[in-house]
Amino acid sequence: MSRSDLQPVPVASSRAKRIAVAIVKWGLLAAVLVFVGRALYYDFREVEWSEIRFDATLMALAVASVAAARAIVFLPYALLVGRFGHRPPRAVAGPALAGEGRPPWSGMIGAVWVSQVARYVPGKVSSVVSMALALRRYGVPDQVAVSTLVIVDGLSVVIGMLVAIPITLWEPVRQFLPMAWLWCTVGMAAALVCLHPRVFGTVGNFLLVRIGYKPFASLPRLRDYVRPALALALTYVLFGVGYWLMARSLGAEAAPADLPIFICAVTVVLIGGFLAFFAPAGLGVQEGLLLVLLGPMIGAGPAAIIAVLMRLLQTVTEAGLGAVGLALLRQSPRGAPDAAPPAPDDK
């Protein structure tokens, strides 16, 4: 048997694998959408519309809080992109970069805001490609752009865990989770351990190699994570405040004492949507988690209304920010022509 006779086998096997993975992803997404759609339908039927006491001021504050959370999402990326020892070529140095190999703020904002819109494309890869292409014009190699994405995405999950884990102490959860205080302590300790550069770097290197990139040449120091971690924590808090304000704007029983639980619950929702590899922008997964977590606090009907309103609000907000980001990217900084694609050794 000749070598050429063997070559089609791995090609066919790889194609079959991709088809199988696509079928699984689309099957999971369809199942989630059907299940959550049915749940929303029945929950909406329980809404007593006459009891909805709409407060326009609180709703405006809720919209502002969620919009602010989406707007500042660029901060962790901007703070970390220059921490990989990258220096731009002379052709794009100077006013085009803000120092330490970081693009100008307008360029970084544009790249991140546009990549957030790309999350709605199935596959979870479009946002990575979008940011890498956007940052090329500023001389940032693909390796640096993707490494920054891996760091920030991993950091967002770990910080999200720290914010969300206290929900295990909530009474409805404690009824189903024996020794909740122990699980809370262990979870918090594990999340803190994951922040150590050795642990974080090992996982990050594994992910980079899996998607076809080189491991980190050098990792940011532990102190380099502080400001990005605070920015991520602020994002989760703003989201939680937004959901809490929206619940109050609908007349739901959401007391000020419930705000910490709202923040924890919404963080669980955001992380769950992010980790759901089959759901573009967490579609269906976030709504389902909202019904499960907010339903016991404010009732199934108000939780269903919030789930739908928040999906609409987030989509419109991200589309608007994406349009602004695209406009920012089209305005190349003076003296900074579009950078050529990175050399092969950058990949």
Please say if the pLDDT value at position 8 is more than 80: no
Banded model confidence at residue 247, pLDDT cuts 50, 70, 90: very high
Residue 125: Cβ-neighbour burial (10 angstroms; 0-12, 13-18, 19+)? exposed
The per-residue pLDDT for 12 is: 60
Q: Is the dihedral of CA 81, 86, 90, 95 positive or negative?
A: positive
CA distance 115 to 137: 15
Specify whether the CB–CB gap between 268 and 164 falls below 8 A: yes
- Read off the pLDDT of residues 191-239 as tens digits, 9 standing for 90 and up: 888 888 788 888 888 888 887 888 877 777 778 888 999 999 999 999 9
For 21-39, the pLDDT digits (tens) are 888 889 999 999 999 999 9
Higher pLDDT residue, 176 or 231? 231
Q: What percent of the chain has pLDDT over 70?
A: 86
pTM: 0.84
Portion of the chain with pLDDT greater than 90, in percent: 40
Amino acid letter, residue 39: A
Task: Tell me the β-bridge partners of 195.
Answer: none
Give the per-residue pLDDT at 99.
44
The Cα 150–Cα 268 span in angstroms is 20
The mean predicted confidence, pLDDT, of the chain is 83
